[in-house]
């Protein structure tokens, strides 16, 4: 049986301090999480329970819904102080759902990236039409939806197809950074990208 708390504790012991837009620091009361842009700020709102993380993660600075939690629009102005690694794990699961488990699966060699064509081939119902997405449309859609500046912070592990890599984003989009940063990994196109593919194929506007 896995113990994801122990794995997270090990990473923190070795100096792990960043996940996405969150920085983690040891504090007198345990661990403190805050937005990486808020390091040094003294005027932050204090939160102390993991349930707060879900609320903090749900809306951006303007109060808009963050359907994609790995979008680079985490709200500012808070700090979350938690007593132990288990509660830090719960909070990180709220801020960045599944990202602890997915990375640990990768470390165990159990994470299998799924290429976009396979993801689209599996779709049924209203999303079956996404199988008509052309390679050019896929490259453009991915460049627009998955870019780190405004789209998604995850590192892409999949290709469009076995023969065709994603070549419409810079190399860092596909590269896991240093040990001190917990990687946000995308091993398969998300439903938001699949829904975006449907709009492209049907010629619908991006928003709405």
Partner 1 sequence: MFSKPDSALVIVGHGSTLNPDSSGPTWGHADAIAQLGAFGEVHCAFWKEEPSLRQVLHCVNKREIYVVPNFISEGYFTQTVIPRELGLDGPQTNVAGRTVKYCAPVGSHERMTDLLLKRAAAVAPGVSPKETSLFIVGHGTGLNDNSAVAAKREVERIRALGIFGEVIAAYMEEAPFIAKWDELSTQPNVVVVPFFIADGLHSYEDIPVLLGIASTSPGAASATGAGVFAQNPYRLRGRTLFYANSIGTEEGFAEVILDQVAAFDAAAA
> Under rule CB under 8 A, which residues in 133-172 are in contact with partner 1?
none
d(CA 61, CA 75): 5
Q: CB 129 → partner 1: shortest distance, Å?
A: 16
Q: Which member of 153, 158, 159, 188 binds partner 1 (CB under 8 A)?
A: 188
- CA–CA distance, 60 with 23 (Å, rounded to integer): 17
d(CA 168, CA 152): 14
Residues 153 and 57: their CA atoms lie apart, in Å, by 14
| Binding span for partner 1 by CB under 8 A among 28-36, 129-137, 171-179, 184-192 | 184-192
| 92 interacts with partner 1 by CB under 8 A | no
Choose the binding region for partner 1 from 33-41, 50-58, 159-167, 171-179 (rule: CB under 8 A): 50-58
Cα-based angle 34, 80, 186 (whole degrees, multiple of 5): 60
Among 30, 72, 77, 97, binds partner 1 (CB under 8 A): 97
| Binding segment toward partner 1, per CB under 8 A, in 8-16, 76-84, 165-173, 186-194 | 186-194
Which bin fits 162, alpha (ψ -120 to 50), beta or left (φ > 0)? alpha
Binding status of residue 40 toward partner 1 by CB under 8 A? no
Asked if residue 25 binds partner 1 (CB under 8 A), the reply is no
């Amino acid at each position: 049986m896995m113990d994801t708390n122990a794995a997270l504790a090990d990473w923190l012991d070795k100096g792990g301090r960043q996940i996405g837009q969150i920085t983690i620091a040891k504090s007198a009361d345990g661990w403190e999480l805050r937005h990486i842009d808020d390091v040094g700020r003294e005027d932050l709102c204090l939160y102390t329970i993991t349930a707060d993380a879900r609320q903090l993660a749900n809306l951006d600075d303007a109060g808009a819904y963050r359907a994609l939690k790995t979008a680079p629009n985490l709200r500012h102005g808070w700090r979350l102080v938690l007593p132990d690694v288990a509660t830090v794990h719960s909070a990180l699961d709220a801020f960045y759902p599944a990202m602890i488990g997915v990375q640990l699966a990768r470390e165990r060699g159990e994470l299998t990236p799924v290429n976009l064509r396979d993801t689209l081939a599996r779709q049924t119902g209203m999303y079956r039409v996404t199988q008509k997405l052309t390679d050019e449309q896929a490259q453009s859609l991915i460049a627009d939806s998955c870019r780190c500046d405004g789209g998604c912070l995850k590192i892409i592990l999949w290709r469009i197809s076995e023969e065709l890599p994603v070549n419409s984003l810079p190399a860092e989009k596909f590269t896991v950074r240093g040990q001190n940063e917990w990687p946000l990994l995308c091993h398969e196109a998300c439903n938001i990208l699949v829904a975006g593919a449907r709009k492209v194929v049907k010629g619908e506007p991006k928003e709405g």
